[in-house]
């Protein structure tokens, strides 16, 4: 069976080199006579992978020494609670930019912990977008400002990050390592791995160590960032296989270079958006042009019936995962780092043929 073009939003496409390496090492990892799936998380073989995954991330993102890299579980959804539980101290207010479905979920969880100020709210705007930096209404002496760098569902992305006086916290689940980012401008970055870093089951957290030290003492042990810093993400059994794949993915990214991937990602997105814009309105992008995501290209067809037909015929032609999120419908093409440029070209050809056949 030949591989198809995988446009799924997450779990998402992985580099073929990574999959082939994992296949070859699955039964006997590094001459240990066992799979990494069977290895103890305290074993030397796994410890080397654990360290490599951290080292690769630190190198690729130029993460300063005063930041910790954590490998946690529970997805970004658990971080919606952990962030305010650790950083939103009594008497403080946290600022949140409500830019879409994922930002709204983060807001909902933060309100359960403490005082939240909605610094900007464009969640329900059509065309979809994220706030501009200039429209943010920030709280004086806020605990932090939280943003969602890329809204996977709506296809809108921050192109310029705010620089507040308080710590900047970002959910980068769907665009981490897709472009250069100055980590020193952030207090905390978190990302579910299943889009650009590896498989599901792993959440990467990059946190300034001094922020972790301020958490309330009465927090449950597993929900304290300090616990995982002190134990090198080994307080409990970590998602070892997912971290192993992360190590392989970051090896692959180091070979490509983040700047090169950023250029390729922009080129892939530009090809797809150009096809949408050239269709004379038959395909309609759902995100405002200045906020269009390089990772998740969202668009609509003239009718929902045509959208269903588009998805069905695309699947038969070898394009998987193009159905938009169930909450908004439409079409979504997720073109993360590992998605090949030729797949975008092939989709554009299919779109042109489909439009001619159904106009």
Q: Enter the tokens of residue 230.
A: 């002190």
Cβ within 8 Å of residue 6, ≥6 positions away: 12, 13, 320, 321, 339
Contacts of 1 (CB under 8 A, 6+ apart): none
- Answer yes or no: are the C-beta atoms of 284 and 299 closer than 8 Å: yes
Asked if 352 is an active-site residue, the reply is: no
- Residue that is written with structure tokens 């539980």 in the block: 85
Phi/psi for 195 (5° steps) reads: -120, -55
Residue that has been written with the tokens 């799936």 in this structure? 37
131/164 Cα distance (integer angstroms): 14
Return the exposure string of 50-87: e unless at least 16 CB atoms fall within 10 Å of the residue's CB, then b: bebbbebbbebbebeeebbbbbbebbbbbbbbbbbbbb
* DSSP-derived pairing of the beta strands 156-157 and 150-151: antiparallel
Catalytic residue among 95, 158, 171, 323: 171
DSSP class of 323: B
Task: Please indicate whether residue 171 is annotated as part of the active site.
Answer: yes
A 10 A CB-CB count for 8 gives 18
- Strand locations in 237-336 (E): 284-285, 296-300, 319-320, 331-334
Rg of the chain on CA atoms, in Å = 21
- Of the candidates 195, 252, 268, 294, the residue annotated as catalytic is 195
What size, in residues, is the chain?
A: 359
Element (H, E) at 18: helix 16-25
Query: d(Cα 49, Cα 281) in Å, to the nearest integer?
Result: 49
d(CA 87, CA 109): 13
Please identify which of the residues 95, 102, 158, 175 carries the catalytic annotation.
102
Instruction: Tell me if residue 102 is catalytic.
Output: yes
Question: Dihedral of the CA atoms 244, 250, 85, 138 (nearest 10)?
Answer: -170
Q: Which residue numbers are catalytic?
A: 102, 171, 195
């Amino acid at each position: 069976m030949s591989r198809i073009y995988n446009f799924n939003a997450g779990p998402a496409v992985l580099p073929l080199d990574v999959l082939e390496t994992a296949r070859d090492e699955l039964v006997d990892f590094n001459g240990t006579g066992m799979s990494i799936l069977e290895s103890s998380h305290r074993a030397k073989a796994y410890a080397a992978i654990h360290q490599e995954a951290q080292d690769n991330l630190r190198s690729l993102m130029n993460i300063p020494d005063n930041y910790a890299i954590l490998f946690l579980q529970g997805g970004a959804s658990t971080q919606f609670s952990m962030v305010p539980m650790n950083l939103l101290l009594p008497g403080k207010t946290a600022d949140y930019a409500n830019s879409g479905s994922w930002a709204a979920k983060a807001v909902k969880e933060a309100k359960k912990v403490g005082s939240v100020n909605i610094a900007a709210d464009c969640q329900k705007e059509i065309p979809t977008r994220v706030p501009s930096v200039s429209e943010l209404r920030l709280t004086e002496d806020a605990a932090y400002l939280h943003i969602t760098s890329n809204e996977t569902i709506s296809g809108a992305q921050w192109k310029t990050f705010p620089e507040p006086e308080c710590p900047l916290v970002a959910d980068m689940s769907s665009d981490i390592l897709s472009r250069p980012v100055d980590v020193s401008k952030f207090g905390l970055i978190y990302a579910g791995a299943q889009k650009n870093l590896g498989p599901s089951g792993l959440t990467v957290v990059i946190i300034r160590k001094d922020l972790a030290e301020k958490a309330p003492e009465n927090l449950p042990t597993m929900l304290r960032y300090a616990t995982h810093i002190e134990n090198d993400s080994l307080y409990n059994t970590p998602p070892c296989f997912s971290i192993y794949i992360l190590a392989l993915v970051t090896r692959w990214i180091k070979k490509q270079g983040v700047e090169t991937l950023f250029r390729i990602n922009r080129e892939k997105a530009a090809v797809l958006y150009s096809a949408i814009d050239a269709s004379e309105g038959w395909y309609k992008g759902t995100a405002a042009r200045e906020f269009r995501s390089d990772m998740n290209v969202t668009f609509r067809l003239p009718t929902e019936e045509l959208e269903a037909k588009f998805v069905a015929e695309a699947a038969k032609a070898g394009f998987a995962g193009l159905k938009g999120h169930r909450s908004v419908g439409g079409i979504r093409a997720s073109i993360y780092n590992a998605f090949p440029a030729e797949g975008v070209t092939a989709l554009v050809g299919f779109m042109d043929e489909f439009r001619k056949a159904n106009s």
